[in-house]
Structure 1
């Protein structure tokens, strides 16, 4: 993120560079990752259960002198005196155990007959080898609801469209298909599952899952950048909702959002990312929304130390507006009057109370009307925060990819259900 790294020492993770293979230099501030190893699975089979033994004795132990006659005549003493109901259960279990043993030894000649006998006893045996089990997370994405739950996309068709776009620009010969790689990125953004879990779900190593995430994320950002358009003035005028009736000259509504970061070991990074407003280390991004509720601008990331005014000026979003024609709507914290005045732009902003005891009736009405209009940018940001990766804290090694993360998520929000329904448009 250029705005964050402008004053960071060389070699720091905040100023890390990416090469053609998307290898990330995190030599400074890298958090040590604990190795996670899976425990070996125990044996499938076990010793056959035996009937319970009364008084702590053994099934095969002979009756002793002085034993209770009732215990001596128990059904476990000999075959002639066995109770048929008690002997039936061990016999069936021995038969099942023998069937499982023969199957495990690969006795193909008796498998068909044993399978029928096992089914009669209600025992299901999985004879497939682990190599034949190919079920992965992508197999679950067979309905729109599952796609929404795992990826944040509204439908399967939207997912397939994104995959087609990424496949058109993908030049790698990776063993993992493009579809799987795109899903891996989306699942990571939506659920924030660690790469160890993603590796297991996609049948790859953790290192491979991490490499595919960063490489595919850049390709997705390049493709989805088209989903964040900057509409012209005529298009804005044709799609003015009722709440903007008094503010028809507003071209964009601006607001900033922050996401918490993991605390870095680098002192320079901690200084740049510490947010006095949040009280934690954050990254900040400027979001612009059209009056119709469409995200039309997403800036590069800034450190939490940057003010809202600095984010507006460094993002150059004001230079996209037409002088003496367009207005910009901002909250009270954006002190951009001077900059907008230099560019010939109008500013729509809630009035300040200053030293007055209360607002006048006109000022109160203006505050209410602006709040009704500005709520749409807050709703757009709220939709972005549905992706758990933006709820933080973001892992420090992902800081260098936050620009692409914000862009991809903003594009997905634009591809979702519109924020404003049709009845919100038109003159009331």
Structure 2
């Protein structure tokens, strides 16, 4: 007899997880609190409701978003099929009619005989022996409290502060130097000197630049602990110089003197392809973030791979709390999926639900978890959730997460895609999963 599974949360990851398990013959109880209880961001009781943009990002084959979709098509992603049936014209992007999409997913779930859709709020972890929590960034207060009690409150983040991250190729190699403050720690940071004139331009820009307004369910008081760079700039002309841009201990080896201010970047991937601006968490609008990189010295182009943000986002410190299958290290059989694990974005959440379904099924069968190849974005998502050594933060997929290729820049994206799809096909063949076209 097949072990039944409880899935808590009927969002993107939870719906995909439930449909995938049912498609493999595993009975599922999908627990969704809406419409009886809701969140400030949701407006309906439909499953997989998109609460922000209706865009699932680019479908261009030579973008990271497009590659992720191609990988998901190969593994038979159910929600991607629903998205393609409800898409609206949006150029190279896959955008959907959000109501039609959510209705299509709801119909799929309600029409699946092995899924029991239970409309109730789950307020605790009193769940069957095999269960998956996929309640997303707006998990209810009672369930969040239960999760915090399970892991320890310090490991559940209620807000995240994300600094801007850029492609290493965007950096002007002649504009900075490698080193650490006071020479401690090796050449861990790329340091860009900022002279007084450029610094004053930066402060003026940050004070005037447009920001994304907080939504009603985001409490302004919570942001004091993770101040956006524009708020720091508003607190005084020298506030940035005593904060994220402080020059102390960073003498420029070309002059032997400490600059007026210093912008630091650190590697966010092992190969250094993704570089994060230290202390540059921000609520600036995206166009303003691009413009910011033209105001700052040291950038050849504003090639942002991860946007800065400060927002409500309940997520776990996954590398410390979950194993390779995204199962709690404190309770066997309790899995977590989607944004609550620290993946960021619609397609990333769907992808995580797909991956989790495979590993829940394998757990039931007493088999080791599947680890996708590092050359694939599915594998990159898994490895992101395993952590990279620094503070854990939510992440969208990008080519900087993949092992670096030594090829001309103009060819590199195409080669990333070709390598990924070939690697995934071999992996699926070897795992007994029939690849889709």
TM over 0.5: no
Higher helix share: 1
Q: Give the TM bin, normalised by the shorter chain.
A: under 0.3
